Chains A and B, each alone.
Chain A
Amino acid sequence: MSTPSRYWREIPQRYRKEANRCAPCDLIYFPPRLICPECGNRALEKTVLAEKGSLMTYTIIRVPPSQFKDQAPYAVGIVEMDDGVKLTGQVVDCEFDKMHTGMRLQMEFRKMYDVGHSGIICYGYKFVPEY
């Protein structure tokens, strides 16, 4: 369960998909790293992830963590974004029997979950079929 401070720390990634890139290695890190594990480069440049990608694989979650219980069953997929980054995320607004690997998806800003009736509302990206 997210505390407001943990949620707040992840805002640049959850809201704006901010990543960083090691230019010599041509690798993107999400969430951002301080040091490139490949070459030790500390001068990583800020970048933003692509908005669209293709579904690599997926599963249907029927026994979810407590904060997602009202959303079950739901699909979670690994998506290869157009910049090569592979992301895990919920796939929504799509019937399960219409999902297939290779389908085009795009990110949309959605509610992830509520922290109870009095807590914060956590927002972030999910995937939907491309328009």
Chain B
Amino acid sequence: MEGIVGYGAYIPRNRIKVEEIAKVWGADAPSYKKGLMLEEKSVPSPDQDTITMSVEASKNALKRANIDPVKIGAVYVGSESHPYAVKPSGTVLAEALGATPECHTADFEFACKAGTEGMFVALNLVKAGAVEFGLGVGADTSQGAPGDALEYSAAAGAAAFIFGRENLVARALETYAFMTDTPDFRRRENKYYPQHGGRFTGDPAYFKHVTGAARGILEKAGAEPQDLDYVIFHQPNGKFPLRVGKLLGFSKEQILPGWLVNKLGNTYSGSSPLGLTSTLDIAKAGDKILLISYGSGAGSDAFIFEVTDHIDKVRDLAPRTRDMLDNNKNYLEYGEYAKFRHKIRKAD
């Protein structure tokens, strides 16, 4: 059986509150907080990007996996904010971990589901016997245009998963993918900020694909919502994952351990993977976890994992996700935030 042998998270220490952003743009903070169920979001330091956060999350995954990094035969980084337009993020990551040179590397892009795409491919390469261990990472330092609704949620974080066949912390019981061509969100070449379709990002996009993937994988596994102990949905805001969970018949108790968005924001490719690391931090042997990502464009990847008793031996070898979210926070004012996110253009 294949599954996760090590998992790791990374969340930057900087935060900005919804009130601080709303104050600058004359927006009504309480309505954003209530409407989107967001309180604050993570902000990367100026010297952090998708690559640096991928390295830190992967180092945490390696500590839990306790394997020789040179045995990792595949390294995949999913992000919509790769630092280079042409030059892979995965080469830096693989080199920093010590996985080179016998290693297959690729960068994935599919809006917010690029992280689970890397996980999907790494897991299935292990399943096929092509590699002994495969690493899939979801990481983003996403950008929202100043004053846009996205600015209240676009955040930063990374989650990494090493897949293998022995000493599993969670068995991969089932996978499923659901995808159509739905242009709800995009960023064209050389454009700094993305554009979204407003309400079009809801029913025909997020809800159609998340429910499609959830119903598909449950049918494939012969399972009902009550057979799962935990469920994680992509979290573009606080409201969508709770609404889609209710729609599908999941309880809040199944969703909340992996629901980080109110304090973290939307970490795009890192969003549902960070929900999974947070859930693995508290899950016990035998628990079944459903993970469903969503990426605009649009599609969802779905996984069902079953936690093993090995998790108790490795869980505290690296920082827990909630600890990184709740501790060591540094609150920014909007001016610092704008500087950190390179929203201020300086002269050359």
Contacts and interface: CB of A to CB of B under 8 A. Distances in A.
Interface of A: 11, 15-16, 70-71, 92-93, 95, 108-112, 117, 121, 123, 126, 128-129, 131
Given A70-B46, A109-B55, A123 B92 contact: yes
- Interface size grouping (class) on chain B: 20 to 34
A123 B51 contact: yes
A44 B79 CA distance: 40
Contacts of A112: 47
Contacts of A92: 45, 47
B183 interface: no
Nearest to A14: B96
B56 interface: yes
B96 A129 contact: no
Interface in B307-344: 319, 323-324, 327-328, 330
A66 to B, nearest CB: 13
Contact of B49 (A111, A117, A126, A131): A111
Given A15-B96, A108-B56, A109-B56, A93 B45 contact: yes
A121 B83 contact: yes
Contact of B46 (A71, A95, A109, A121): A71
Given A93-B13, A121-B84, A111 B95 contact: no
Interface string B1-35: 00000000000011000000000000000000000
B324 A109 contact: no
A109 B96 contact: yes
B95 A110 contact: no
Interface of B: 13-14, 45-49, 51-52, 55-56, 59, 83-84, 92, 95-96, 98, 319, 323-324, 327-328, 330, 346, 348
B95 A131 contact: no
A15 B14 CA distance: 24
A71 B46 CA distance: 8
Contacts of A16: 95-96, 98
Contacts of A110: 45, 47-48, 52
A15 B95 CA distance: 7
Contacts of B45: 92-93, 110
Contacts of B323: 131
Contacts of A126: 47
B87 to A, nearest CB: 8
Contacts of A93: 13-14, 45, 330
Contacts of A95: 330
A11 B52 CA distance: 14
